[in-house]
Amino acid sequence: MVTESYIRTRAYFHFENRTGENWEDSAANWSQAEAEEMALATARALDISGELFTFRPLSQMIPLLVVPSIDEKVANGVISATTLPVEIKRLQILWPPSATPVVLLNDEVQIIVEGIARRDLKPDDPIYTTDIVHGSEHLVPPTINKAPVAYLLLFSSFMDLRLIFDFTPNTPDPRPEAHMMPRYELQELTARRDFIQANPPETLLVRLKQLGWPPSPTYYPSLVQAMAQPGGDTPEMIASTIINLHGAEYWRKCIVLWKELRIFSTRTSYICKAIEEYLEGDYVSAIYVAVPQFEGIINDYVRSSGGTVAREFRGTLSEFKRLIESRKVLLFPRFVLNLVVDFIDSGSFWNNTGTITDPKQEVNRHGIAHGVFTGFETQELALKFLILIDCVAFVLLQDQLICGVLN
């Protein structure tokens, strides 16, 4: 999070580098340095280049190479058609210079990492991440017939995608310094895997659903760590932690990404309006703008995907789930889709208003859209609607990526 102290510290060095030791003699230059550093910090906070470098290549490669490979594996009996869609945890695509690309899925992917050892290791010794000097790990490029090949490597870990790619082997650079193995975040990836195994997301999301919180990729690891502290598991502390996780920087970066990729098509302006009202503290306006959009978002997507829009929204919601499960690939665990749909379908969202015991905490469409409730406009409730929108956006983005229709 960018703080005033951070900006002023950055401005100090900015100004010192520009004017030498006399930096404090000019208030005008100091103000300019602060303004420039604030602009740079804002640009960094809203930078989505990493996301675009992940999503856009995948939106080309998955329908072009991965889906046909899965069809071939099904035809050859390597994958059972009854297990589709394949939940991708690891994906590697190899491009030999003059041959058909090779697609490797999950356990087929072999990762070789080099690093500096902290102790003497013998050939058969077990190696742990703590045996490797942090920051020294590099990914050994894959080879075919002992020759390095261009590759794309994807890791998917509970609503988190990491992409590494290197196409230079097919256009080799003769300079020795150009042949460097990419850094590999071995300890970070291992720690995340171990943390998720020790704190199963499905268990956490079911617990949060009981408190009216929709599924979200933002809960790991900060919320889990906070809940493990004394008193951190109370509804009040959980709400406080989630509110802090979803500050202005988080939502404004979401807006930049959604606008660039047109995730919500013609409804983007309404979603942005709800977020801006939330950030300004006008929670009643944020809620009223957000609530009508859920049906429209799902209906629009089903219609644009060639599905059938039912008279009753719950029927369309079932069709939405069927469409996504009809793909050959999923980039997130299937239980996440089930929880998202279940939250809207059988949670408080669609319940009869007479069953809602606390309209300030329970996400309910009817009570707000039909004016049944008053006094519901809390920050917590507004944020729950926005997180649900964010979660639907995540599912839509992944599906557009898989179908190759990402903007």
Share of the chain above pLDDT 70, in %: 80
Token pair in block for residue 207: 């617990």
| Residue 239, number of CB atoms within 10 A of its CB | 19
pLDDT 10s digits, 222-281: 899 999 999 999 999 999 999 999 999 999 999 999 999 999 988 999 999 999 999 999
User: Which of 75-84, 91-100, 158-167 reaches the highest mean pLDDT?
Assistant: 75-84
Q: Output the CA angle 197-340-246, nearest 5 degrees.
A: 75
Residue linked to tokens 């939106």: 59
| Residue 134, number of CB atoms within 10 A of its CB | 14
d(CA 393, CA 387): 10
pLDDT at 178 over 80: no
pLDDT 10s digits, 1-37: 556 666 566 665 655 555 544 445 555 566 666 677 6
pLDDT at 83: 92
Q: How many Cα atoms within 13 Å fall on the side-chain side of residue 114?
A: 8
Q: Which residue has the higher pLDDT, 71 or 376?
A: 71
Q: What are the φ and ψ backbone dihedral angles of 250, each rounded to 5 degrees?
A: -60, -50
3-state secondary structure of 311: coil
d(CA 301, CA 396): 8
Least confident span in 17-31, 167-181, 196-210 = 17-31
Q: How many Cα atoms within 13 Å fall on the side-chain side of residue 170?
A: 15
Could you tell me how far CA 12 lies from the centroid of its own chain?
A: 34
Least confident span in 127-131, 162-166, 252-256, 283-287 = 127-131
Is there a contact between 261 and 405 (Cβ–Cβ < 8 Å)? no
pLDDT at 148: 84
| Residue 389, number of CB atoms within 10 A of its CB | 23
d(CA 31, CA 26): 9
d(CA 260, CA 407): 8
Q: Where are the alpha helices (DSSP H) in 281-378?
A: 283-290, 293-304, 313-325, 334-345, 365-369
The sign one gets for the Cα dihedral 205, 209, 210, 211 is positive
Instruction: Give the mean model confidence (pLDDT) for residues 162-183.
Output: 72
Q: Output the CA angle 267-302-314, nearest 5 degrees.
A: 95
Cα separation of the two ends of the chain: 29
Least confident span in 126-135, 149-158, 307-316, 382-391 = 126-135
Amino acid, res. 388: L
pLDDT 10s digits, 36-46: 766 676 767 78
Token pair in block for residue 115: 């690093």
pLDDT at 378: 85
pTM: 0.83
Buried b (16+ CB within 10 A) or exposed e, 276-288: bbbeeebbbbbbb
Strands (E), 108-235: 113-114, 138-139, 143-144, 147-148, 150-156, 161-166
